[in-house]
Amino acid sequence: AAFCLPLAAQGPTPGAFVGSVTDSATGQPVAGARVTFTNRDTGIQATTYTDRGGLFTYTTLPPGDYDVIVSMS
pLDDT at 12 over 80: no
What is the reported pLDDT for 15? 79
Percent of the chain with pLDDT over 70: 82
Q: Cβ(46)–Cβ(37) under 8 Å?
A: yes
Closest residue by Cα to residue 55 from 22, 26, 23, 25: 22
Predicted structure pTM score = 0.79
